[in-house]
Amino acid sequence: MIKNGLLLLLLVSCVFCGTVKGQTGIRGIITSGQGEPLPYATVYVVEKKSGTVTNEQGMFDFPLSPGMYHVNFQFLGRTTEKQIITVGSGYENITVNLLPQAVQLPVFTVTTSSEDPAYAIMRKAIASARYYRMLVKSYEATIYIKGFGEIKIPKLVRTLASQQPLDTVEYFLSETVSRNYYEYPNTYRQEVLSARSNNQDTGRVEINQFIGANIYEPMFAGVVSPLSPSAFGFYRFKLVNSFLEGQNEISQIRVIPRSRGANVFEGDIYIVEGSWSVYSFTLKTWSQGFEININQMFAPVSSKVWFPVSHRYDMNGSFFGVGMKFQYLASLSDYRVTINDTLSYDRLVLIDEKTERDYAQAVAEEKERLKQKQSDTSGTLTPPPQKFTLKEFRKVMKKMERESKKKEKEPEVILDYTQNIDTMAFKRDAAFWDSLRPIPLTNLEKRPGLGKKIDSVEAVKKSDTAHIGGKFGKVASGLLFGNRYKISKNWWIRNGSPFEQLNFNTVEGLNFTIPIELTRYGRDRFRLKGDLRYGFVSRAFYGRGEITWRYQKDSWRRNEISLRGGNYVEQFNPDEPVHPFINTFYSLLWMDNYMKIYEKTFGGINGTAQLTSRMKLTGGVEWSRRSPLENTTDYTWVSRTGRGYTPNAPVSIELPDTRFAQHEAFMLNAGLSYRPGLRFRRNNGKLWPVMESYPELTLNYTGALGHLTGTDVDFHRLEAGIHHLSKGARGVFEMKLSGGTTFHDGAISFTDFKHFNGNLTAITIKGPMESYRLLDYYRFSTQGPWVSAMTTVRMNRFLLSRIFWLNVAGIRESLSVNYLRTEHSPNYTEVGYGLENILHMIKVEAFTAWEDDGYKAFGIRVGISVGNTISIGGD
């Protein structure tokens, strides 16, 4: 009885302690001098090295243990108020009025040749950027992030959705608390302590938004930073205000893009005079039609380092008529910073040679005298003040950065990010969040429906993991329309619909393909896949299968082996330049049967071995029997007078008659690719290559070993190439150069010629480095030497993309030049201009083709733009 009583007393004590914890601190409202709430003002507690921001109503709620604290209340354009607050046994309610900041612009005379004082300030700030990137050896901080989004769904879509048992999500709310660790130069570790969301993915995605984005980097959030070494090529600057913050003079610099639009900022950046570090900034940019506003407030977490203590990201735009608005607020607290002592200057002075010529000359003479005096004196001299011209300082910082990189264990890894999620992270209740939330929820965010949706998300996740045995109805419909099923923890099975690949060609007539796939996911992956195909006119069944095993030895070594076999139809070009769906419509509407196929019975083995992090080896062997196929139908939707389908045999300059007899071949292929200097990003132990860092060199061999195996084809082919992608602030340059030749004394079939990806339709399905735009599919196919060159430049601003609203909508322009030459062909050149990212995804190109010096063709091509993303974190 006594024992039970003690246990009850202990339980009550624990509950009481848990209730008291988090029930002391400061809360209140920050207003203007007229009593209007100031949203997103910063509250910074000096002793805790912690900050938070007010919500839209200007309210804040900061849990603190009992004690005395120095608290700073800040808002851009308002005078900072500093208070000493004693926290007792409860919450201290505070009302803070922030008065407008007094303008203290220095007096200067403007002449036709003088420049705005902002330029001298920014030259020093830009020169100091590398210094501040290197100054922090390590830090750790606790980050609270609140994300809130509003999705405005068109009325028609909402009406249609309401007829279904679906809940149209109009708002989402997510919150995360994590402990973040950083170690110079590029190591980040994140411990996610708590997270919740009413959207299945948002909570997991947004916790990474603020990792890696640093205003001192040349690119900040994927946009040219005002502190980039190339900033003067993208921005103009204007000094609009100067004020005192304690003992520090702060300069407000207006950032004015030379050409407004995406990839550049506009707004204000505040610089601390003397140290030339960032005090705060509020900047705006655009990406894919979304307006993005970024605001960071800094505070001194040590005598030499100012760190961001609050963030605000606002995104507003639309996608296919669906309006979207997102906001992320973050407060950072409990900073622990370690300074790089080798960079810690006590009396650092930077001299701008352009505006302080006499001072720079005097300092240079002083350094020379001290240097001469030191060489003549055996005694120890007092070191002079550490003064540098901007040119000297940049040189010193570059040298120190190079020396630092030499000491790195893995210089090829440019970012090392690890995330660990606490097992209880997604299981915290509302009371837990109420006890620690530093940014109060607004009235809209407190809506009961949002809380219910957070609970319903977990219910949906659980229902989705139910065993397929209880979903007979879904399985039955899946057989007809296709579906994907989870059969155990790591095993999934997917079957396609017969309607998924329902096409037409002149050999099989109407035909369908049913794909089936069984996959085991994990560090090592196993996959069994197959395709069943039937042609209604040819009345022929085809099938093929593949077993693949991918195994991973370490973070970068991913090897793969696969067995393949079956009896199937293949295009003469194994890269399949003609999509079956596009061929269907061109055949039925215009009687253009571009796709040429043959029957292939085969069996083989292929493998991929990652020899090093930069070198990959591929290879395989295959036996096959190739059989010709003939047209079996002339069916069409629209009859064309004087037109008919062409034979199922390609047309080639080099081989007028491409028809062939049934034959066998034993093929051997091997390839080696190498990227010298390739760099990587490591994410949770896995290496991901940064493809644009260095070019890829390739060497490939393909051979038919007829003389050794008794088969009918005998040849050897060597190919070499280089592919490079270079991304810059002004755009992307990509090129691919390749060439090769074929050696043979015996027979070679047209199926084994070197084929080049062409396109005669208005739709392009391959990337700019994968296909010519106007080239005939097989006209330039060759059994001799060849050389190919493809280049494209995608520009952020060129002609139409200089128009502001087109630019912010994501419209980009491209110029392309492609070239091809074979032993028996003319010099083929095509030149094109393109508009990309129309409606966020469509690309339209206009190309002209030339053979030798004569005009050949003109065509419009429509495709899909690739690589269009919105990023507000990382690089």
Residues 302 and 339 sit within 8 Å (Cβ to Cβ): yes
Residues 415 and 681 sit within 8 Å (Cβ to Cβ): yes
Determine the angle formed by the axes of helices 117-135 and 390-406, rounding to 10 degrees.
20
CA atoms within 13 A on the CB side of 381: 14
Domain range 22-98, CATH architecture? Sandwich (2.60)
| Total residues found in the chain within this entry | 875
Q: Please report the pLDDT score of residue 541 as a whole number.
A: 97
- Alpha-carbon distance of 232 to 216, in angstroms, equals 15
Enter the tokens of residue 198. Answer: 């009413």
Identify residue 199 by its one-letter amino acid code.
Answer: N
DSSP-assigned states of every residue in 598-659? EEEEEEEEEEEEE-SSSEEEEEEEEEEEEE---------SS--TT--PPPSS---SS-S---
- Alpha-carbon distance of 205 to 672, in angstroms, equals 36
HEC string of 289-336 equals: CEEEEEEEEEEECCCCCEEEEEEEEEEEEEECCEEEEEEEEEEEEEEE
DSSP-assigned states of every residue in 138-198? EEEEEEEEEEEEEEE--HHHHHHHHTTT-----EEEEEEEEEEEEETTTEEEEEEEEEEES
Q: What beta strand segments (E) does 767-841 contain?
A: 786-795, 812-822, 828-838
Q: Please report the pLDDT score of residue 21 as a whole number.
A: 42
Q: Please report the pLDDT score of residue 853 as a whole number.
A: 81
Q: Please report the pLDDT score of residue 106 as a whole number.
A: 58
Q: Please report the pLDDT score of residue 11 as a whole number.
A: 35
Nearest one of 830, 144, 815 to 435, comparing CA atoms: 144
Identify residue 464 by its one-letter amino acid code.
Answer: D
Enter the tokens of residue 755. Answer: 């084929």
Enter the tokens of residue 1. Answer: 């009885």
Q: Report the SS3 class of residue 700.
A: strand
**pLDDT averaged per 10 residues, the chain (length 875):** 39 37 81 88 88 89 90 89 91 91 60 78 95 91 88 67 54 88 90 81 43 82 92 96 88 95 94 93 90 91 84 86 85 88 77 87 80 62 68 89 80 87 84 82 73 48 44 57 84 88 97 95 91 96 97 78 98 97 96 97 97 93 98 92 91 94 97 92 85 89 93 96 92 96 90 97 94 97 97 95 91 97 96 93 96 94 71 41
Question: What is the assigned CATH class of domain 496-864?
Answer: mainly beta
- Cis preceding linkage at 185, omega within 30: yes
- Alpha-carbon distance of 686 to 672, in angstroms, equals 22
The structural domains of the chain, with segments of one domain joined by +, span 22-98, 120-338+424-456, 343-406, 496-864
Q: What beta strand segments (E) does 450-573 contain?
A: 483-486, 491-495, 501-505, 509-520, 525-535, 540-552, 558-571
Q: CA torsion 196→201→206→209, rounded to 10°?
A: 160
- Alpha-carbon distance of 179 to 333, in angstroms, equals 9
Q: Please report the pLDDT score of residue 698 as a whole number.
A: 98
Residues 828 and 775 sit within 8 Å (Cβ to Cβ): yes
Nearest one of 733, 746, 739, 676 to 704, comparing CA atoms: 746
Q: Please report the pLDDT score of residue 103 as a whole number.
A: 67
